[in-house]
């Protein structure tokens, strides 16, 4: 099937195809973690629909996934900050896939903390991209999955949302809000047969983090992707830290008294 850039009209209802191979909708597909996860799914012969900002990168990624064994790959280049486009984009993607088994939300921006401290517009952009836009898409996707009575929603949040730190509190606030929203969404729909998985990575070596101090010590993106793919394959909701060591680390961070925490250079 020919690749598409974007279609915003309301398409026909999803075709009733076999659930094997699985059908994955990947939002923010060109992010380092998402791309590594898609390579795993491609090796399993999956059907994959990629959404991202750069059509050039999406086309290159689609070609790579086909070589790796994906049964079907299509793309849509779109600005996911445009909330008004979400219903048409999501419906189009699901129609092209012939249904939906997993929606994987992996988009977001780090932003610039020093700039966000004085530029409200920049802080608002971080919050919009990392919180408002995912909330819009998850609301639509959750209701779609409820109607079909199944599906998995997997959402990349971050350990940065577990406690505000002076070095990245605007980004952290956006991820804290996303985590709280996904927690509540899981509580609402998990009992209806829809799994909602919150994924909290620690620092991972990707293009987005390459310029950060100490990035050479960050987690390997392929190992992180493997853990994520395994968790999604279980079809269970919940919260996962990846690498797993971050669960006890963040438990300690959250337990530090505020009188001590505010004196730390974090």
Q: Which residues are catalytic?
A: 171
Residue 151 zone, left/alpha/beta (φ > 0; ψ -120 to 50; rest): left
Helices (H), 3-116: 32-43, 55-67, 86-97, 113-116
Q: How would you list the strands of the sheet with 72-77, edge to edge? A: 72-77, 47-52, 23-27, 102-105, 152-156, 195-201, 238-242
**156 membership: H or E segment, kind and range:** strand 152-156
Cβ–Cβ < 8 Å for 166, 114: no
Residue 67: Cβ within 10 Å count: 9
């Amino acid at each position: 099937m020919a690749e598409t850039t974007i279609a915003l009209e309301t398409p026909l209802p999803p075709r009733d195809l076999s659930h094997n191979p699985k059908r994955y909708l990947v939002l923010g597909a060109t992010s380092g973690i998402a791309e590594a996860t898609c390579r795993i799914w491609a090796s399993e012969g999956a059907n994959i629909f990629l959404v991202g900002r750069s059509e050039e990168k999406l086309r290159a990624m689609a070609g790579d996934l086909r070589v790796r064994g994906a049964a079907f790959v299509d793309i849509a280049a779109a600005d996911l900050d445009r909330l008004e486009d979400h219903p048409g984009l999501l419906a189009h993607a699901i129609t092209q896939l012939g249904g939906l088994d997993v929606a994987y939300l992996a988009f977001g921006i780090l932003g610039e903390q020093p700039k966000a401290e004085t530029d409200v517009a920049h802080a608002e952009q971080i919050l919009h991209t990392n919180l408002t836009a995912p909330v819009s898409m998850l609301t639509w996707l959750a209701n779609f999955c409820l109607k079909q009575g199944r599906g998995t929603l997997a959402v990349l949040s971050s350990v940065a949302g577990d406690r505000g730190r002076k070095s990245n509190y605007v980004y952290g606030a956006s991820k804290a809000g996303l985590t709280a929203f996904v927690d509540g969404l899981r509580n609402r729909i998990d009992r209806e047969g829809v799994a909602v998985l919150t994924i909290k990575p620690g620092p991972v070596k990707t293009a987005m983090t390459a310029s950060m101090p100490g990035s050479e010590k960050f987690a390997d993106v392929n190992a992180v992707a493997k853990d994520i793919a395994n968790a999604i394959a279980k079809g269970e909701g919940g919260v996962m830290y990846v690498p797993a060591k971050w669960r006890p680390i963040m438990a300690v961070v959250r337990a530090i008294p505020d009188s001590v925490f505010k004196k730390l250079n974090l």
